[in-house]
Structure 1
Amino acid sequence: MTLDSHSAERPHVSGSGSPKPAIVIVARGESPELSDGQEKFISHTDFWLTDGNLILIAGDTAFRVYQGLLTRNSAVFADMFATAAADVTEMFDGCPVVRLPQVHPDDLRDFLQYLMPCSELRLRDGLPVSDFSELHAAIHLAHKYQCSSVETRALSVLKQYYTPHFVEYTRYSTSRPRMLRPPRDVAITAVNIARLTDTPSVLPFALYRVCTLEDQMKYRYRRRDGSVEHLSADDFRLCVGSRDTLAKVMEVLVDAVFNTRPSSRCKIAEQCMRALRDIFDNVELNALYECDVLDSYEDAIANWAAGFKLCRICEKAMLARELAQRRRVWKLLPGVFGMTVEECGFTTGAESSW
């Protein structure tokens, strides 16, 4: 059987009139002699279950899994076996063979890991974590094969970082998340995933992250199979247009946080006034035309306070203003990209969807 992952129609099952060459599946490192017309595949180290009753082939790798588990969770596989069980053209060790010619073996592994975990888990603080490429593969294959359970679970991990909740955004590094912090440039792919799966809560923050790429917004995410994906023309235009809006929001934030007078409780107002002016001049110069309005100034404020001799009272007041302004901007984010707070489920409080 051949399952074309790019086809939107029912998977094609090869007819018995054109049988494929016999296949040989061996463990990695083995080099058997092949007869004319035979094909060799390598059994996956983790996903080769000796009591499995279905073999999937992706690239040069064979996966022996459970047909019942796959068909129970995937509408595409269920339909394929329901309509073509009597038309199997390839077998190996008593198992039907399904070829996935346009699927990278690492992508299939990541999809199967969510469905029937067999690979060793990557742990951090005792909890399993994934990286973005693993989630990307699992979500795309789950969507192609209509496996809603895998898609929902993988999306729940993705939404820990591309979150609609300000509190979760600010606490990501310390909240034991299940996804390693992704590079900024994969936000382009996060936008595409949100569009593909109709997940509007991911869009505002993912689109914002794209805007902060500046001249790299045309970046193309290279998949494991060598294909590339990029922003749609509509989303590219949306991000280009939104950069000016974000730059103006940044001007307002910088003015509100840094262009102020000393606290009413300050004991060294003259010294702090000089420090505040120096800090504002420094920030204003570096923030001009920038879009990364949600990036925290917390560490920078601590350094500036020490360097410019700002008192602790004025430093705390500045930190409070900075947090309040970023919370305000968070609530504005959906509107920047033509959406509503309600549509995206955006909050600035302690609500959580994890």
Structure 2
Amino acid sequence: MTHDTPSTKRRRVPSRTKPFVAILAPGESAELAHGQEKFIRHAVDFWLDDGNLILLAGDTAFRVYKGLLTKNSAVFADMFAAGSADATETFDGCPVVRLPDHPKDLRDFLQYLMPCSKLTLCKGRPVSDFAELHAAFHLAHKYQCPDVETRALSVLKRFYTPHFSDYAYFDASKAGLVRPPRNAAIAAVNIARLTETPSMLPFALYEVCTLEDHMVDGYTRRDGSVEHLTTADLKLCLGARGQLAKQTAFYLKGVFEANPGEGCAHTTQCAQARDNMRDEVNINALGDCDIFTGGM
């Protein structure tokens, strides 16, 4: 082939395997080009003007610091060290990484890693709710951020404690955690198993027992997925309910064993009132296994 002969080879045109992204401010509207995907910046908290990495989760975009994320996450560090295809898109000069996580979960994880959101306070002290800690823990575990995982776990351990007396004196401001709903205990048991934290199990398993038949419904996550106990833990809770119910009956019997005092002027009436209250409580507590309230 001479230099004058036209080449029969087609010139390569760089191909884009993923469509462009359009990232808009909250409330902003714009006409999108063909194939563009629209994302909304995360309010104010996690769209940092000098950030150099964009994370996409759901329909939300987060602009954060790549160095801080890779320093704390082995997964993200490996991703960029290997030049993963997940980071080949760019926006405003920043690499873009698409994540499969719920945007609220990602926000809670980032809040532990690089606090930007306004804190929720109780008696002047910062507190989290269970959903926030659950999200922060699981994403920290997923992306291998041991510091975040440890911090989230330490807060959960203040509520799911082996010291049952702490139940009556639980203070959200001191624990840094709003009292979780009872079905959260299902997720707490799974976290305890995952992290080999047996100190969380006694109270978490007890709380599951008090759910009665709802223990099989599981704990619903923000993304709509449902987290269940393992078969072994479910069997353990079903077996424990009978023993706890017997303990409740024994506890109630002790409460109503006392007779009217010697100075009582209405011995018969008081004894009858005591028996009536005992019968009513026994009826209401039939089969109950909540030894802290006794069905009252």
Same topology, TM > 0.5: yes
Residue pair 1:19, 1:90 contacting (<8 A) in 2 also? no
Question: Deviation of residue 90 (structure 1)?
Answer: 1.0
Corresponding residue for residue 281 of structure 1: 279
Within 1, Cα distance between the matches of 2:32 and 2:51? 25
Please tell me whether the aligned partners of residues 59 and 103 of structure 1 are also in contact (alpha carbons under 8 angstroms): yes
Shift of 1:187: 1.7
- Please list, as runs of the form range in 1=range in 2, the aligned pairs for 1:102-117 lying within 5 A after superposition: 102-117=100-115
SS of structure 2 residue aligned to 1:84? coil
Which secondary structure does the structure 2 equivalent of 1:295 belong to? coil
Gaps (5+ residues) in structure 2? 1-13
User: For the Cα contact (< 8 Å) 2:113–2:148, is it kept in 1?
Assistant: yes
Task: Find the counterpart in structure 1 of residue 59 from structure 2.
Answer: 60
Structure 1 residues 87 and 186: alpha-carbon distance in aligned structure 2, compared to 1, 3 A threshold: closer
Structure 2 CA distance, aligned partners of 1:294 and 1:169?
9
Matched residue, 1:7: none
Aligned partners of 2:135 and 2:115: how far apart in 1? 15
Please state how far the C-alpha of 1:278 moved relative to its aligned partner: 4.2
Aligned with residue 189 of structure 2, among 184, 188, 191: 191
Structure 1: stretches of 5+ with no match in the other structure? 1-15, 301-354
Q: Which residue of 2 aligns with 1:155?
A: 153
Secondary structure of residue in 1 paired with 2:42: strand
Tell me, yes or no, if the aligned pair for 1:221 and 1:229 is still in contact at 8 Å.
Answer: yes
Structure 2: distance between partners of 1:39 and 1:295: 53
Q: Rg bigger for which structure?
A: 2
The residue number in structure 2 matching 1:43 is 41
Normalized against structure 2, the TM-score is what? 0.85
Q: How many percent identity over aligned positions?
A: 63
Partners of 2:276 and 2:86 in 1: how far apart?
A: 78
Question: For the residues of structure 1 that align with 2:202 and 2:85, how far apart are their CA atoms?
Answer: 48
Specify the alignment match of 1:26 in structure 2: 24
In structure 2, the residue corresponding to 1:98 is in which secondary structure? Answer: strand
Q: Is the 8 A contact 1:125 1:176 kept in 2?
A: no
For 1:87 and 1:270, how far apart are their aligned partners in 2?
A: 81
> Partner of 1:238 in structure 2?
236
Superposition deviation, residue 288 in structure 1 = 2.9
2:23 and 2:73 map into 1 onto residues whose CA distance is 25
Q: Secondary structure at the match of 2:29?
A: coil
Separation (CA, whole Å) in 2 of partners of 1:236 and 1:66: 42
Query: Is the helix fraction higher in 1 or 2?
Result: 1
117, 120, 129: which one aligns with 2:118 = 120
Maintained 8 Å contact 1:111/1:139: yes
Instruction: Report how far residue 270 of structure 1 moved.
Output: 6.8
Residues 191 and 206, structure 1, Cα contact 8 Å, conserved in 2:
yes
Q: Check whether the contact 1:110–1:138 (CA below 8 A) recurs between aligned residues.
A: yes
2:142 and 2:84 mapped to 1: Cα distance? 21
SS at the partner of 1:25?
strand
CA contact (8 A) 1:70 1:77 kept: yes
Q: Is contact 1:19-1:89 (8 Å) kept? A: no
Deviation at 1:42, TM superposition (A): 1.0
> Which position in structure 1 is the counterpart of 2:10?
none
> Structure 1 residues 86 and 282 mapped into 2: Cα distance closer, same or farther (>3 Å)?
closer
Task: Select between 78-87 and 199-208 the one with higher mean Cα deviation.
Answer: 78-87
Match runs of 1:1-354 below 5 Å? 19-45=17-43, 46-84=45-83, 88-100=87-99, 102-173=100-171, 176-261=174-259, 267-268=263-264, 271=267, 276-295=274-293
> What is the deviation of 1:192?
1.8
TM-score under structure 1 length normalisation: 0.72
Letter in 1 for 2:169: R
SS in 2 for 1:153: helix
SS of equivalent to 2:31: coil
**Could you give the per-residue CA deviations for residues 48-72 of structure 1, whole angstroms, max 9, x where no partner exists?**
0111111111011111111111112
* Larger deviation, residues 103-112 vs 150-159: 150-159
Aligned to 2:175, what secondary structure does the other structure show? coil
CA drift of 1:96 comes to 1.2
Pairwise CA distance, 1:262: 5.4
**What is the aligned length?**
280
Q: CA deviation at 1:88?
A: 4.4
Shift of 1:38: 2.0
Distance 1:269 1:159 in 2: 51
Report which stretch shifted further, 86-95 or 179-188: 86-95
Note the alpha carbon deviations across 1:260-291, whole angstroms, 9 max, x for none: 3457xx64397365554444334333333210
Q: Secondary structure at the match of 2:82?
A: helix
Give, in angstroms, the shift of residue 175 of structure 1. 6.0
Secondary structure, aligned partner of 2:116: coil
Q: Distance in 2 between matches of 1:256 and 1:80?
A: 62
